[in-house]
Structures are given as structure tokens and as C-alpha cells.
Amino acid sequence: MADNMAGNTIENTTSSAASNFSEMRKNALAHTKEQVKESFSKDLMIINAINNIEEIEKSINSLASRLREWYMVKNPELERTLADNEVFVKVVLTQEDTPTEMGAEITTDDEAAIQSLALITQGLIETKVFLLLYLEKTMKEYCKNVYVLAGPTIGAKLLREAKSLKRLASLQSSTMQLLGAEKALFRHIKTGAKSPKYGHIVNHPVVINARKEDKGKAARALADKLSIAARLDYFKGEFLGKQFLEDLQKRFNS
């Protein structure tokens, strides 16, 4: 009888342990799935945001160019003095209908057509601003170190080329430095053309503002810090992005 009781106790204990393990495993799997799902979603949101921002910028430049050609009939002086397309569009929409020395007279219908094109272009500009704000907010929440160190657009482009934050965190700094220069790199391998030195990070202020002889060093140092920043973000490490950026600025932009 004692043996039976002992056997039942062992059986109950084993059953309880198995049940607890099963529940723990179930919870762990659910948590992991949720994390993967969230990460996958954020990666795609950032990639789609930067892709659409770039497409919208192309459309803005194209439409603004057409608007300049059209508006020049009425006011060629304005077209020549405002180089910034977004500022030009705003001025076209707000400028009083004043005569110019070189402009031709246009009808009310002509003016309405020009204003219509300007309004469409302005709508795209506002959409771009909204998406940039969205991109900044999303990256600040998802990969703050990369966001602060690289800025929202360069950071998003690096993540896009890597396909995900997980893969970005796994890249060596030398690969990080060339992200965005894949076409030039392929051309170098295929034809022996000059090898690229930088990818998207060439547009980073630290590299732009570095002395000519230091640009290569600045790009390598930035890529090193970005590799660390991506790992910190992926593995939920501490926030060092601001410190990294300040260190680079003191080293290359002082």
C-alpha cells in the first residue's frame, strides 16, 4: 500500500511538472511569436514609409518642374529667384496677382489651371511631411540608437537595404558602410570599375562635414558605431546613440 502511495505521489508530481513545463513552453512560444510578429511589422512599416517618401519626392520634383514651366509665362522673375521647389509651390499658392515686367497676361481659366497643379503638388508635400513625422516616431520607438545616430531617412534606408533590424544588427561595419552602393559594387565586380567607398552614409552630416582627407575615416567610424547601435536596438540594450553621435562630431567636425 505504501508503495502504491509513493507511486501515486511520484506520478502526480511528474504529471504536475509536465503540465507546468507545457504551460511555460506555451507561454514562451506565444511571447516569441508576438515579438517576431511585432518586429516583422515594424520593419515593413519603416521600409514602406521610406519607399513612399522617396517616390513622393520624385513626384514633387517632377510636378514642381512642370509648374515652373507653366508659371513662368505669368511671372518669369519668380521662377528664377526661388530655387527650392517646395518654397516655390507655396509662393505660387499665396502670391497676389500682381503684374510683372516680363510676364504675359493670362486668363482666369489659365490661373485656375496653374493653381490646380500647385494644389496637387502642395498636397504631396504635406503628405511627405506627415510620412517623415511618422517615420521619425516609428524609428524612435523601434530602433532609437540607429534613429539618433543616423537620422530617420539614412537609418530607414540602411534598414531597408538590410531587409530587417535583425539582419542589420548582424552585419559587419564594412558591409554597413557600403549599404546603398550595391549597384556600384556589382559594377566594380563585373567590369573592374572603381570600387565604391560609401553607401547611404555618404550623406550623413559627420561624413559631409569632415575634412576631405578624413572622409574615409569618418565613414568607417560611423559604420562602426552604427553596427553597435543596431545590435543595441535589436537586443534591447542601453541607449548610446546620442553619445556615439557626439563623439563622432567632436572627432571629425570640430
- Listed in sequence order, the residues at least 6 apart from 242 whose beta carbon sits closer than 8 Å to its beta carbon are 148
* CATH number (domain holding residue 51): 1.10.287.4070
Of 32-36, 178-182, 246-250, least confident by mean pLDDT is 32-36
152 shares a domain with 93? no
Count of structural domains, the chain: 2
Report pLDDT digits (tens) over 124-155.
999 999 999 999 999 999 999 999 999 999 99
Which pLDDT value is given to residue 35? 62
157 shares a domain with 91? no
98 shares a domain with 47? yes
Of 29-33, 76-80, 145-149, 179-183, least confident by mean pLDDT is 29-33
149 shares a domain with 242? yes
How much is the pTM?
A: 0.79
169 shares a domain with 199? yes
What distances in angstroms separate CA 253 from CA 37, 121, 208, 211, one per listed residue?
40, 37, 9, 8
**Structural domain ending residue among the three candidates 89, 118, 142:** 142
133 shares a domain with 75? yes
182 shares a domain with 242? yes
Q: Is the dihedral of CA 196, 201, 202, 208 positive or negative?
A: negative
Closest-CA residue to 207 (of 196, 221, 194, 195): 221
The reply to whether 33 falls in a domain is no
Domain that holds residue 71: 41-142
- Listed in sequence order, the residues at least 6 apart from 166 whose beta carbon sits closer than 8 Å to its beta carbon are 39, 234
The reply to whether 8 falls in a domain is no
- Asked if residues 92 and 68 have their Cβ atoms less than 8 Å apart, the reply is no
The reply to whether 218 falls in a domain is yes
- C-beta neighbour count of 37 within 10 angstroms: 10
For the chain, the straight-line distance linking the first and the last C-alpha, in angstroms and rounded, comes to 86
| DSSP state string for 148-199 | HHH-HHHHHHHHHHHSSHHHHHHS-HHHHHHTT-HHHHHHHHHH-PPPP--S
245 shares a domain with 169? yes
Separation CA 135–CA 137 (nearest Å): 6
